[in-house]
């Protein structure tokens, strides 16, 4: 394939992960990075569970009182509740205390340093129905014993918001990748964006990953060692994995995808699930739910007409709903 037109690239660290940016107009790269950074800073100030100056931290410590919030936090909570509803509670934002009980009570880079055995019993999620959101008044109320964690959806929302803002402001094609949550807006390169999928690496974000390697066509976001590559032209693509944000406490191996009914990391037959959807939020919601739904996931994803690639712990690959075959895959279609 002959080299395509030049692509502008940007890389930064935010939200405890890597943020990669590709734009079809290299002259707009600096402005695109500035928009992306502003969007990520806003999301962090609104939705961080760890910053005492964030709105979410204040909401989690409001002791059951209703709190008036920004439009951004109201949107982020609305997105999280919609994800919970569409997945029948599998993706539940009230898992905050579950994560705290497992030691994920600070930024992951610091939390993973504590390897002492767990001393407290697991705390199941309170249930997303406990959250009262008045979107019109921008008012949220949660019971005193409930702690929200928006990690399952806020990063994907940030990717969607940033991609749309950059494309609209700069009139160019854009791909935003926040640690595997990818959103695309604007006119893509002629053959789409090439995205690499990684199945079984210890990529927990600490230390941070190296910037992506770009191929001769200058439109690739493929890591140096990928397990599959797909071309994406629009919408969202998300990968959820039990290998990401994994840590140990004593003899217990833990990860960040929680089974709400138990408050413990889910024991899934899948180590990685990638899903394509209309938005990154939709893709992330489905990929996270698929990890939790385990054996039921392929049938559910197919029924939702969501192209997906599921990788098992033994290396087996299942592809559903039109996920494209790739020459690097050694799996089977379902």
Is residue 208 in some structural domain? Answer: no
Q: What is the CATH number of the domain that holds 127?
A: 1.10.3980.10
Residue of 162, 159, 180 lying closest to 17 (CA atoms): 180
**Distance from the first to the final alpha carbon of the chain:** 30
E strand intervals along the chain: 8-14, 17-23, 67-68, 132-134, 139-141, 174-178, 181-185, 193-197, 220-221, 228-232, 235-241, 246-249, 252-255, 258-259, 264-265, 270-277, 308-312, 317-320, 332-333
Is residue 5 in some structural domain? Answer: no
Is residue 95 in some structural domain? Answer: yes
- Given a contact cutoff of 8 angstroms between Cβ atoms, the answer to whether 15 and 34 are in contact is no
Enclosing domain of residue 110: 50-141
Element (H, E) at 38: helix 29-47
Is residue 192 in some structural domain? Answer: no
Is residue 210 in some structural domain? Answer: no
Is residue 292 in some structural domain? Answer: no
pTM given for the model: 0.87
The three-class DSSP label of residue 31 is helix
Is residue 98 in some structural domain? Answer: yes
Is residue 237 in some structural domain? Answer: no
pLDDT tens for each residue of the chain, 334 residues long: 344 568 888 888 877 788 999 999 999 999 999 999 999 999 999 999 999 999 999 999 999 999 999 999 999 999 999 999 999 999 999 999 998 888 776 677 776 777 777 778 889 999 999 999 999 999 999 999 999 999 889 999 999 999 999 999 999 999 999 988 999 999 999 989 999 888 765 544 333 333 343 332 334 454 444 578 899 999 999 999 988 777 777 777 877 889 999 998 889 999 999 999 999 999 999 999 999 999 999 999 999 999 999 999 998 999 999 998 754 544 433 3
Q: How many domains does the chain have?
A: 1
């Amino acid at each position: 394939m002959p080299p395509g037109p030049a692509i502008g690239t940007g890389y930064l660290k935010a939200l405890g992960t890597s943020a990669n940016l590709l734009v079809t107009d290299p002259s707009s790269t600096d402005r695109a990075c500035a928009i992306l950074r502003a969007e990520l800073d806003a999301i962090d100030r609104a939705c961080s569970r760890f910053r005492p100056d964030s709105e979410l931290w204040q909401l989690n410590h409001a002791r059951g009182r209703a709190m008036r919030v920004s439009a951004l936090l109201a949107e982020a909570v609305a997105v999280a509740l919609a994800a919970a509803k569409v997945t029948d509670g599998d993706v539940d934002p009230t898992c905050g205390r579950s994560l705290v009980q497992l030691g994920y009570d600070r930024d992951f880079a610091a939390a993973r340093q504590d390897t002492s055995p767990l001393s407290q019993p697991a705390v199941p999620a309170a249930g997303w129905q406990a959250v009262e959101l008045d979107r019109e008044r921008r008012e949220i109320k949660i019971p005193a014993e409930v702690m929200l964690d928006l990690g399952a959806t806020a990063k994907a929302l940030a990717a969607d918001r940033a991609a749309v803002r950059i494309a609209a402001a700069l009139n160019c094609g854009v791909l935003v990748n926040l640690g595997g949550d990818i959103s695309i807006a604007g006119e893509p390169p002629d053959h789409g964006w090439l995205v690499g999928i990684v199945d079984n690496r210890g990529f927990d974000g600490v230390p941070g990953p190296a910037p992506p390697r770009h191929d001769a066509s200058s439109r690739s976001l493929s890591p140096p060692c990928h397990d599959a590559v797909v071309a994406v032209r629009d919408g969202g693509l998300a990968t959820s994995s039990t290998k990401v944000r994994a840590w140990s406490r004593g003899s217990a191996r833990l990860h960040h995808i929680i089974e709400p009914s138990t408050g413990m990391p889910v024991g899934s037959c899948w180590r990685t699930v990638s899903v394509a959807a209309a938005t990154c939020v939709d893709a992330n919601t489905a990929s996270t739910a698929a990890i939790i739904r385990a054996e039921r996931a392929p049938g559910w994803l197919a029924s939702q007409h969501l192209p997906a690639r599921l990788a098992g712990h033994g290396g087996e690959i299942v592809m559903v709903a039109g996920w494209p075959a790739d020459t690097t895959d050694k799996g089977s279609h379902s």
